[in-house]
Structure 1
Amino acid sequence: MKDINIEDFRIKSQINIKDLPTKLDLDAGKKDLKKALRKVSEDLAEIQNAMYAHGKYAVLFCIQGMDTAGKDSLIREVFKEFNVRGIVAHSFKKPTELELKHDYLWRHYKALPARGKFGVFNRTHYENVLVTRVHPQYLMYENMPDIESVKDVNDAFWDRRFEEINNFEKHIADNGTIIFKFFLNLSKEEQKNRLLRRLNRPDKHWKFSADDLKERALWDKYQDCYEDVLNRSSKPHAPWFNIPADDKPTARYIVARILYDTLKTYEDIREPELPAKEKA
């Protein structure tokens, strides 16, 4: 099985999304990848236990990708060995009536992990520069003072949103949150195969929605928006990683390795020693 260098996946400069790989051959079968993933997940769980006791860092795990990219199953498999007390997952759907009465980042702020915990954002605050950019009419529900119609949504509006998101991440990073952002890069051909699988397998029917086909028709527009996200918001304190997602076991292993190889560099994350008086 080939080894990987996590820096090969980090977005460090301006990219063209068409040049980013959606496949990676690690010269390993599914059993080998599953075994390797379990080992890394166990090692990650040990780090999380130390983090929980240490209480000075939180981890924010952000995952984005097109429909069928494998977000849910990746989260399940990567964190399978974790103690449930140390991880909290949030799947952000359509904003509620209450959430729409606040600014768009409010629901993300209040879902942030406490120090010592892993927080998982399955779809993230970046939906606010992805879905709403593809469908700007959704912004009308936010009832913003300076936006009366879709015509008011211009480049300056999106520039401001990106600045706000970057500031949000810088603020939480400065206060002890270690941020990971993963883009599951799925090919259009593989998405087609996965959508057809949902139709052909009765146990997958519940996952299929006609809306998936409507969104697929907007593939190119979504790819342009993702490219802009990767180029404008991958920062040293909050990097994006491109994860080839056409093969799910490979994608899961790469994500787990990026988490582990990064977190093990934090030498100050360790269990506190028992005070001598308590020990006595």
Structure 2
Amino acid sequence: MKFSTQFRPKKSFKVNDSDAGDKPLSSGDKAKDKLAVDALAQQIAELQNVFYAAHKRKLLLVLQGMDTSGKDGTVKDVLGRIDPLGIRSVAFKAPTTIEKEHDYLWRIHREMPAQGEIVIFNRSHYEDVLITRVHDWINDDEVQRRLAQIRDFERMLSETGTVVLKFFLHISKDQQKKRLEDRIADPDKHWKFDLQDIEERKSWDAYQSAYTTAINATDADHAPWFVIPADSKTHRNLVIASIVLEILEGMKLAYPPAKPELKDLKII
């Protein structure tokens, strides 16, 4: 089974029915799994070089998940070997005053990848149907309108040459508690800790419900969701790296044709 099929959500997917601690790709040896991630990351970097040189495709990687699910870690461990020239990471925070004066997709659309570019969204347009719904800033009718708009938006991206891959980093409540406690215990990790994370944790069940609704409504072959068990950081990286590499290999990438005028060129 292809990795891009194995981790797609099933019909009528429910977050709470998915095991965040599952490790189907693990060898059972953490050290070996880390070596496998390193090897996959190197292959991804090599293919990205061809991807950038060909300058035809556009790739968007969306990372969504609860706090501490590993969005930053994924960028570093899976995509950290890529030449910065061809990749860009965008971390979406609370919208600014200017962004609030536009429609909610305005700030998203302007960050889309250009030809030859890979863009990573650390959080994304999905926050506009997640945190907004959990805190009752919008009602169910508005959620449905936005989900329909997101479907149309992602279809447009696909039809105009952007490959869209969306990863839900699924962490358990117990594992999140452990990671938050680790940040509190280690002064060197205090910079990662935000008291707001504790407040958002109180709405855990509401977030699981909101994710369930969003994933079911917007999973599509042209903009697929992948549900990534994220309790294990190493296995999380292994799965995401395997999927990204599979997609890049499936593009049958090739360097641009050689330039005939350079064949006999001599440098004096």
TM bin, normalised by shorter chain, reads: over 0.9
1:273 maps to what in 2?
Answer: 257
2:52 maps to what in 1?
Answer: 52
1:263 maps to what in 2?
Answer: 248
RMSD (CA atoms): 1.5
- After TM superposition, give the deviation of residue 238 of structure 1 in Å: 0.4
- After TM superposition, give the deviation of residue 154 of structure 1 in Å: 3.7
Residue pairs, 1:1-280, within 5 angstroms: 5-25=3-23, 26-137=26-137, 153-267=138-252, 269-280=253-264
Q: Secondary structure at the match of 2:226?
A: strand
- After TM superposition, give the deviation of residue 163 of structure 1 in Å: 1.0
Identity across matched positions, percent:
39
**1:168-210 CA distances to partner (integer Å, 9 max, x unpaired)?**
1111111111111000000011011111111111111222222
1:142 maps to what in 2?
Answer: none
- After TM superposition, give the deviation of residue 135 of structure 1 in Å: 1.5
Gaps of 5+ in 2: none
Rounded to whole Å, the distance in 1 between the matches of 2:224 and 2:136 is 26
- After TM superposition, give the deviation of residue 43 of structure 1 in Å: 0.9
State which drifts further: 209-218 or 236-245.
209-218
**1:205-245 CA distances to partner (integer Å, 9 max, x unpaired)?**
22222211111110000000000011000100000000000
Gaps of 5+ in 1: 138-152
- After TM superposition, give the deviation of residue 4 of structure 1 in Å: 7.6
Rounded to whole Å, the distance in 2 between the matches of 1:279 and 1:131 is 58
In structure 2, what residue type is equivalent to 1:274? A
Rounded to whole Å, the distance in 1 between the matches of 2:211 and 2:21 is 18
Rounded to whole Å, the distance in 1 between the matches of 2:41 and 2:153 is 29
1:146 maps to what in 2?
Answer: none
Q: Secondary structure at the match of 1:264?
A: helix
- After TM superposition, give the deviation of residue 18 of structure 1 in Å: 1.5
- After TM superposition, give the deviation of residue 12 of structure 1 in Å: 4.6
Q: Secondary structure at the match of 1:136?
A: coil
> When the two structures are aligned, how many residues end up with a matched partner?
262
Whether the aligned pair in 1 keeps the contact of 2:52 and 2:86 (CA below 8 Å) is yes
User: Which ranges of 4 or more aligned residues in structure 1 deviate by more than 6 Å?
Assistant: none
Rounded to whole Å, the distance in 2 between the matches of 1:4 and 1:250 is 17
In structure 1, what residue type is equivalent to 2:95? P
- After TM superposition, give the deviation of residue 10 of structure 1 in Å: 1.0
Q: Secondary structure at the match of 1:68?
A: coil
